[in-house]
Amino acid sequence: MAEQLTVQGGAQVKIRSPWGVFFLALVTLGIYYLVWYYKINRELRDVGIGTSPLTSLLAISIGWFIIVPPFVSTWNTLGRISQAEERFGSTAALSRGLGFILFLVAVIFLPFELPYMQEHLNRVWRTAAREPAPAPQG
């Protein structure tokens, strides 16, 4: 069971097992990957990072017919996670390049970007649940 946390003004987020996400995606032949992708983008949107999780989901599912959208969506989601790390002061920094390379590996082999992304999100959510978020800089 995933641990539920409340961050930044009441947004509900989940701490998920990084390898649990990976194996669920494999066992369900990718269906859980889509569910997970929607949920993490929704959680990020709920804390004010990103806009439409449905658009992200459509890009990595039916976007494959056009080829480019899944790559753009993954790159943008990695950027959102990185932005969340900066906003909440997480100690570990996600590498967008490494995450994207893992996504490219996933296209051919296995979705190794899932545990990488989820581990970074877990750190962000734990940090955000402990401290109030700093004011956005702009």
Q: How far apart are CA 1 and CA 137, in angstroms?
A: 35
Contact 122, 14 (CB under 8 A): no
Looking at every residue in the chain, the average pLDDT score rounds to 89
pLDDT for the residue 99: 92
Q: What percent of the chain has pLDDT over 70?
A: 93
Q: Buried b / exposed e across 57-88, counting CB within 10 Å, b at 16+?
A: bebbbebeeeeebbbebbebbbebbbbbbebb
CB atoms within 10 A of CB 130: 11
Cα–Cα distance, 117 to 122 (Å, whole number): 9
Residues 126/15, Cβ–Cβ less than 8 Å: yes
Token pair 């194996």 is found at: 23
Q: What integer pLDDT is reported at residue 109 of this predicted model?
A: 87
State residue 135's pLDDT score: 53
* H or E segment to which residue 36 belongs: helix 31-46
Q: What is the pLDDT of residue 74?
A: 93
Q: Which amino acid is at 67?
A: I
Q: Average pLDDT in the 29-45 region? A: 95
Q: So what's the pLDDT on residue 121? A: 94
- The pLDDT assigned to 22 comes to 96
**Tens digit of pLDDT for each residue in 73-126?**
999 999 999 999 999 888 888 999 999 999 998 888 889 999 999 999 999 999
**3-state helix vs strand vs coil in the chain, percent to 5:** 65, 5, 30
Q: What pLDDT, on a 0 to 100 scale, did the predictor assign at position 16?
A: 96
